[in-house]
Amino acid sequence: MSFDVSSAVVRRCELILIIDLLPSMENVNEAQWTSEWLKNSNPNIETQIFQGIDACWPNETELNDCMGVVTTGSTYSCMEDYPHTESLFKFFKMVILLEIPLLTICYSAQMLVRWLAGKENVTCLPVPHIGSIRIQSLTHGDTNHCFSLLNNMLDEPLISSIAQSDGFILPDEHKKFSVQVGSLMKETCFIHQASATKWNYQGFQLLGLPVWGIQFHPNWPADGAEAVFRIVKSHNSDIVVERQGIFDEIGRHRVASRFLSACCTNLPSSSGIV
């Protein structure tokens, strides 16, 4: 992978590249959600998806042809080393050197922090389920009953969108430990941009650079999880919701909109994220 930075590049003003960091064996539509979110935010945007975990990374020519890059979340742990880890760090470096607007989401935001601060300087929260939403059944006491209910509701578009071959995924359920940016804020170049209950540093920007990180997935509808539970409860009133942490909806959209503004200064305005 070359990191020579070309000068005087002319970027294609409507293309955003999406780097999918989910394991290839998991049939999760995170990248597709991201693509739909971007297009809904501005109908002039085009997207192209790269499977980063499968060593399919954009080259410098492809990057010079785009106006922005989004790296997705993942089920990987940000504190472990994987075959793709060094490639991801090199990719961050190339995008930043090329001065391309970059939005990192969830796992990739944590990995950006780890790359900049060093693995030895990042800390993990003691509880891995910050911000998670759990499904509970008062009658059965576990999630298996809820999953069987969901299987009977696949005609509902929102339910079918989270259905996987081995279950259902809610994007705001974080099963892995998360890098805590807070202790690094005063000593490094991170700018705090958004907070949340039990998560003081939900969003950040790198000082002087068009680079953002957001813990909560902006591509997931603001009331998406609640909508799922409303559908479930309409089928069985015994289902209850326990929310472990409340994210600042305004904050997460603020970070996302700043990234889009950096990308889309030459695009017609739309009624998307504000």
Would you state the pLDDT for residue 170?
Answer: 57
Q: Judging by beta carbons within 10 Å of its beta carbon (0-12, 13-18, 19+), is residue 79 exposed, middle or buried?
A: middle
Helices 85-97, 107-117: axis angle to 10 degrees equals 80
What sign does the dihedral 166-168-172-175 (CA atoms) show?
negative
Q: What confidence tens digit (pLDDT) does each residue in 205-243 have? A: 888 889 998 876 665 655 556 666 677 667 666 666 554
For residue 95, pLDDT over 90 is answered with yes
Query: How far is residue 270's CA from residue 254's CA, in Å, rounded to a whole number?
Result: 16
Single-letter amino acid code for the residue at 161: S
For residue 104, pLDDT over 90 is answered with yes
Strand 239-243 to strand 133-137: parallel, antiparallel, or no bridges (unpaired)? antiparallel
CATH of domain 15-263: 3.40.50.880
Mean pLDDT of 251-256: 70
Domain positions in the chain: 15-263
Query: How far is residue 203's CA from residue 106's CA, in Å, rounded to a whole number?
Result: 10
